[in-house]
Amino acid sequence: MGGPLDFRMRTRIVSGTDSMHGLGRLASELGGTRALLVTDRGIVEAGHAERAAGSLRRAGLAVAEFAETRENPTTRDVDAGRESADRFGPDLIVGLGGGSAMDCAKGINFVHSNGGRMSDYWGVGKAARPMLPMIGIPTTAGTGSEVQSFALISDAETHVKMACGDEKAAFRVALLDPSLTLTQPPRVTALTGLDAIAHAVESYVSTRRNAISTAFSVAAWRLLAGNLDGVLRNPTDIEARSNMQLGACLAGLAIENAMLGAAHALANPLTTHFGLPHGSAVAILLPHVVRHNGATRGAWYGELLAAGAAIPGMPDSKSAAGGLAAFLESLTRRAGLETRLASMIADRDAIPRLARDAANQWTGKFNPRGMTEDDYRRLYENAW
């Protein structure tokens, strides 16, 4: 797996139970004196926002809070946050929450420090001026946004999801505190956990894979596949929680270096048109993508099974794509999530339109086996 490589760690990763106590110190180290805390209502209600603000204030920082981010953030959320930033004048931004809050923090940073509109930054490397330093604190174990330089922001009018990436938009520090994930409802643990597993599996076989990204994918796969059952059975198991959080973070690093594949291309239109939770859509489609890719990439899936051989219930590596797909389905079922599309949406006639949309998803271009619109249609049918 030689070939060209350009790898740099942009984000310092600090992980440990109650590590959020150190937030103020980390912010000071970055030169912060005025912090804008970007979060959402649920995080405020759980008391996490106040704990974060307290640590920042104890370190001498002035703090303003923007808690209006919503799931799948839009340009409207970013614009509202930007008003807060323009009023307060922060020299540091803290993103506290799931992927949505962290992405919104990045979006606010783009338009606050570089001006213009969110759509001006759609693509890669569009920010000409420096951006404020940021600290990312995930409260789920899922997206890995804390180590990615991309913000996914939807256009509030057209609903198009814009991927806005710039190395300056990467968090300078990712603060992983597993105690923040203890308050999660079991369904959120299941949805975000299966999404993270899909990140490990898709990035491992993508066309952009390299020696470093695959190391992250495998480490993430072991941590995630080996601990999801455990955190669902025993939600207060802090070590299992920490393993899930680190696994999701490593999977995020794998994506940053290798991108994703067809399962995410299939999942996105289901969220856009039918409001399916991202984790659920990905969990339903991934086994079918694995079977499809298995025709040419079975050996790579066998490597994942071999890497997870110590995990109870892991199929023999010789079973390759078929074994991996069956394992993923049983994991989804045990997590209490649906495995068939028919139980989630009523309108089977929507499949051709969904397939057209899936074929236009950027993320599908990195799938190891070329995908046509007809392939996407067939995979939706298989998952029905």
Residues 6+ away with beta carbon under 8 Å from 1: 209, 210, 211, 214
Could you tell me the smallest distance in angstroms from the CB atom of residue 282 to Fe ion?
A: 6
CB closer to Fe ion out of 103 and 195 = 195
CB closer to Fe ion out of 65 and 195 = 195
* 146 is a site residue for Fe ion (CB under 5 A): no
CB closer to Fe ion out of 32 and 247 = 247
The CB-nearest residue to Fe ion is: 195
Count of alpha carbons within 13 angstroms of residue 26, beta-carbon side: 26
Could you tell me the smallest distance in angstroms from the CB atom of residue 278 to Fe ion?
A: 6
CB closer to Fe ion out of 148 and 179 = 148
Sign of CA dihedral 221, 273, 104, 181: negative
Residues of span 193-222 touching Fe ion by CB under 5 A? 195
Which residue's structure tokens are 């079922």?
A: 333
Could you tell me the smallest distance in angstroms from the CB atom of residue 376 to Fe ion?
A: 17
Q: Residues 350, 351, 353, CA angle at the centre, nearest 5°?
A: 70
Could you tell me the smallest distance in angstroms from the CB atom of residue 124 to Fe ion?
A: 19
Could you tell me the smallest distance in angstroms from the CB atom of residue 199 to Fe ion?
A: 6
The site that binds Fe ion (CB under 5 A) totals a number of residues, namely 1
Strand-pairing partners, residue 95, are 38, 136
Under 8 Å between Cβ of 292 and 369: yes
CB closer to Fe ion out of 143 and 214 = 143
Of 244, 295, 249, 274, the C-alpha closest to 341 is 274
Could you tell me the smallest distance in angstroms from the CB atom of residue 266 to Fe ion?
A: 12
Per-residue x/- marks for Fe ion, 166-195, CB under 5 A?
-----------------------------x
CB closer to Fe ion out of 59 and 259 = 259
Under 8 Å between Cβ of 183 and 46: yes
CA dihedral 298→363→338→334, nearest 10 degrees, is 50
CA dihedral 22→24→26→30, nearest 10 degrees, is 180
Could you tell me the smallest distance in angstroms from the CB atom of residue 234 to Fe ion?
A: 25
Cβ-count burial of 158 within 10 angstroms (0-12 exposed, 13-18 middle, 19+ buried)?
Answer: exposed
Could you tell me the smallest distance in angstroms from the CB atom of residue 16 to Fe ion?
A: 25
CB closer to Fe ion out of 201 and 359 = 201
CB closer to Fe ion out of 37 and 328 = 328
Q: Which residues of 37-69 are buried (b: 16+ CB within 10 A; e: fewer)?
A: bbbbebbbebebbebbbebbeebebebbbbbbb
Q: Which residues bind Fe ion (CB under 5 A)?
A: 195
